[in-house]
Amino acid sequence: MELLEWNDSYSVGDALMDAHHQVFFRMVRQFSQSPERDSHDAMKKRIAFLAEYTTMHLGAEEKLMQQVSYPGLEQHRAVHQAFAKRVHAAKEAYIKNPGSIAADDILTIMQEWFADHILGEDKKYMPHVRQQA
* Domains annotated on the chain, with CATH: 13-132 (1.20.120.50)
Contacts of 77 (CB under 8 A, 6+ apart): 62
Model pTM score = 0.86
The pLDDT assigned to 63 comes to 97
Q: pLDDT (tens digit, 9 = 90+) per residue, 35-89? A: 666 677 878 888 888 889 889 999 999 999 999 999 999 999 999 999 999 888 8
How many contiguous H segments (helices) and E segments (strands) does the chain have?
5, 0
Please give the mean pLDDT across all residues of the chain: 86
Q: Could you give the percent of the chain with pLDDT greater than 90?
A: 39
Q: Is the pLDDT of residue 93 over 70?
A: yes
